[in-house]
Amino acid sequence: MGEEIVVIEGDGIGREVVPAALEVLEAFDLGFEFVSAEAGDATEEATGEALPAETYELAADADATLFGAAGETAADVILPLRDAVDSFVNVRPARAYPGVDAVRPETDVVFLRENTEGVYSGHEGRLSEDLSTLTRVVTSSASRELAEFACEFVTDGRGPVGGPEDGFTVAHKANVMRETDGRFRDEVLSVAEERGVDADEELMDAFATKLPLDPTQYGVVVCPNLAGDVLSDLAAGLVGGLGLLPSANVGHDNALFEPVHGTAPDIAGQGIANPTAAVLSAAMLLEYLSYGEEGQRVRDAVEGVLSDGPRTGDLGGDATTDEVTAAIVDRL
Amino acid sequence: MGEEIVVIEGDGIGREVVPAALEVLEAFDLGFEFVSAEAGDATEEATGEALPAETYELAADADATLFGAAGETAADVILPLRDAVDSFVNVRPARAYPGVDAVRPETDVVFLRENTEGVYSGHEGRLSEDLSTLTRVVTSSASRELAEFACEFVTDGRGPVGGPEDGFTVAHKANVMRETDGRFRDEVLSVAEERGVDADEELMDAFATKLPLDPTQYGVVVCPNLAGDVLSDLAAGLVGGLGLLPSANVGHDNALFEPVHGTAPDIAGQGIANPTAAVLSAAMLLEYLSYGEEGQRVRDAVEGVLSDGPRTGDLGGDATTDEVTAAIVDRL
Ligand SMILES: CC(C)[C@H](C(=O)O)[C@@H](O)C(=O)O
Ligand SMILES: CC(C)[C@H](C(=O)O)[C@@H](O)C(=O)O
């Protein structure tokens, strides 16, 4: 029996793009055992819970999970799911593809986003009628674990070229958050030094100015949680939107893969959603499970289709999700 | 005797662009009394303090302050100065100019950034060997005060077109920071409703994707402190960099004006810095002091020079700071 993969379509176009990604995975006949699970707005309506305990447990016990998107309940679904797979890093590649309209076609950046703390560990409170607080948390241990991952990532040659040679850039706001982002920055840079990996740093606001001006300055970018959220979404805007961006939430012996896009309610249910981000998330899943060759074949097929195959409406075409998916499967 | 204006050149190109802005202000003969004060890296080296108490007091007692830039000590200078003038909003226009190379030449957005709280109120601590925290603060009073300002701003027609008609967009991360950014969002939207101003909202990560894709979707954008820092710097990248961006820190009966750029150590001391951001900050100062006509004349002169006058190196020309300044003064 092969690896157990939990499949959560979620809401909106999640119900269209996840089946497309599954079709691609099934084309390899790797003996995966797919287990469906429910989460999202519709699940909350039906059961009272956006993320039922059963789904959480399934994801926690699986070898990997493929997730689509959730609507209003997104945070209630995705944040616990990241926890279920014990994920400490969110890997978010943002690259432009030849032939796809992009504000900055030279963009090729991978964000390694801390995935457990910062404002997301969420100790919030209403202290008075007038005042609320949120306590942001940064630990050396989480910062160092992320940095170790980043060092391996660049040493394995998995990062794009750009930024310090074979190294990475740390983006942070340690000039204001001196103690917390200062700790993050110091730990990440010190791990890089111990590992002999080149690393430089950039204030996150300066990064937000400089990325659009010249994305080729950057390759692998290591960030605290919220910084990684915003800066990777900025990069998405430069490569032409969210329709192409996959992501991996990697844990110690489990992982969760999801397109960066949401449920796209304006086009949901019409069969015209772009499956690319979900299919590329499946490619990341294959690579994570050590099916590197298969993952590469998926990437090549996707690139081929993007350059001269059918396109969905978001890329200026009029193909359906099924047509694009069939074209990808055809090229595997 | 006219208004008292404190002038702080600071470090690096601050020492070149602030005199340029002063030359423009002096051209009007409005009877301003200019008072010089010191702050920044050089001041810290000389006196042990980046922002001497005397400078703080001068800024606090003045009618307005014009500041250049500070180097390593930037946060130690600018954050207390914002406090000195009791500033609750940071006004950051980001627009592209005809003839200036920009990633997104259609960009014309004004950020109204909360200027007192969020992570900037800075209750940070090292709780253990491994763990540090920062307590982020959001109050209804500060959120509502910002919103009142935003409503007046759009009602007075001071905002660019884009976003909700004659209204504004609130950018936040209330899906994660539910209690703090939730409070911010709710208060801002409720003030808008009370004032009959159109307002919509956007998650700050979605905003970071959508602004590069189509900046004309937005006009006036109201943000918490750090969100405003990062998103306005992103907009700076879309209009071609920081050389053109002025800002105003507005308080109750005092204000501080500063170019968004830093000290530019690579070109400092050579007399080739672009004075535009500082000169436009002076225009904001004029408008703040009710010299609206003079402010407009400065803007017109700057635009004229940008479209067919001499240019500094950052804009592809080879003019000096003095030549550009003289050309601006010439057109007043
Ligand atoms: C839905 C939300 C909680 C989530 C996040 O902020 O991490 C999303 O924006 C993302 O980036 O996956
Ligand atoms: C220097 C720094 C403290 C400051 C800020 O974060 O506000 C700067 O980035 C700015 O935007 O004026």
Give contacts of B 211-230 with A, CB under 8 A: 211-213, 226, 229-230
Do residues A312 and A320 touch, judged by C-beta distance below 8 A? yes
pLDDT at B240: 86
CB count in 10 Å sphere of residue B174: 20
Name the least confident of A24-28, A179-183, B122-126, B203-207.
B122-126
Dist. CA B312 → ligand 2 center (Å): 25
Give the ligand with the smallest distance to the CA of A224: 1
If you average pLDDT over every residue of chain B, what do you get? 96
pLDDT at B163: 74
Chain centre to alpha carbon of residue A184? 21
Compute CA distances A275 → A131, A242, B64, B112, whole Å.
Answer: 44, 11, 55, 37
Q: Whose structure tokens read 């407009």? A: B296
Active site residues of A: 120, 173, 205, 229, 233
The pLDDT tens digits for B109-147 are 999 999 999 999 968 999 999 999 999 999 999 999 999
pLDDT at A240: 86
- Please give the full DSSP string across B263-287, using - where no structure is assigned: --TTTTTTT----HHHHHHHHHHHH
Q: Would residue B120 show up in a list of annotated catalytic residues for this protein?
A: yes
Do residues A118 and A224 touch, judged by C-beta distance below 8 A? yes
The pLDDT tens digits for A112-134 are 999 999 999 968 999 999 999 99
To which H or E segment does residue A139 belong? strand A131-139
Q: CA-CA distance, B105 to B118, in Å (whole number)? A: 31
- CB environment B148-170: b (16+ within 10 A), e (fewer): bbbbebbeeeebbebbbeebbbb
Do residues B133 and B124 touch, judged by C-beta distance below 8 A? yes
If you average pLDDT over every residue of chain A, what do you get? 96
Low-confidence ranges of chain B (pLDDT < 50): none
| Beta-carbon separation of B206 and A104 below 8 A | no
Q: CA-CA distance, B303 to A291, in Å (whole number)? A: 57
Nearest to A250 by CA among A155, A114, A126, A131: A114
Q: Is the CB of B74 under 6 A from ligand 2?
A: yes
Q: What is the pTM of this model?
A: 0.97
